[in-house]
Amino acid sequence: MSTTTTRDLASPAPAKVSKDRPRRGLRATATLNFWLFTGPFLIGLVIFVFVPIGWSLYLSFFEARFTVTPSTFVGFDNYAQMLTNPDFTRSLGTFTVFGAFIVPTTWALSLGLALLVHRLRFMQAFFRSVFFVPTACSYVAAALIWKMSIFNGVRFGLMNTVLGWFGVENVAWLANPDPPWYWLVIVTLRLWLQAGFYMILFLAALQNIPSELYEAASIDGAKPGWQTFRYITLPQLRATSTAVILLLLIAAYQAFDEFFALLGKATWGQPPLVELYKTALGENQDYGAGSAGAVILTLLICLVTLFQGKIMGFGRGEDSK
- Per the structure, the complete domain to which residue 190 belongs is given by 77-320
Q: In total, how many domains does the chain have?
A: 1
Tens of pLDDT, residue by residue over 258-278, are 888 888 777 777 888 888 888
Cα angle 176-193-49, degrees, rounded to a multiple of 5: 95
* 54 domain-assigned: no
Query: Is 20 inside a domain boundary?
Result: no
The DSSP secondary-structure symbol of 84 reads: T
Task: Report yes or no on 136 lying in a domain.
Answer: yes
Within a domain: residue 175?
Answer: yes
CB 4 within 8 A of CB 11: no
Residue 160 sits in a domain of what CATH number?
A: 1.10.3720.10
Closest CA to 206 of 246, 248, 238, 243: 238
Give the pLDDT of the chain (321 residues) as one tens digit per residue.
444 454 454 555 555 555 555 555 555 688 888 888 888 999 999 999 899 889 989 999 998 888 877 878 888 999 999 999 888 888 888 888 888 888 999 999 999 999 999 888 888 888 888 888 888 888 888 888 888 888 876 567 788 888 888 888 888 888 777 778 888 888 899 999 999 999 999 999 998 888 888 888 788 777 777 888 888 888 889 889 988 988 998 888 888 888 888 887 777 778 888 888 888 887 778 899 999 999 998 898 888 888 877 776 665 544 444
CA angle 39, 42, 47 (to 5 degrees): 125
Inside any domain, residue 24: no
Reported pTM: 0.76
289 located within any domain:
yes
Say whether 232 sits in a helix, a strand or coil. Answer: helix
Q: Is 32 inside a domain boundary? A: no
How far apart, in whole angstroms, are the C-alpha atoms of residue 132 and residue 193?
Answer: 9
Whether 121 is in a domain gets the answer yes
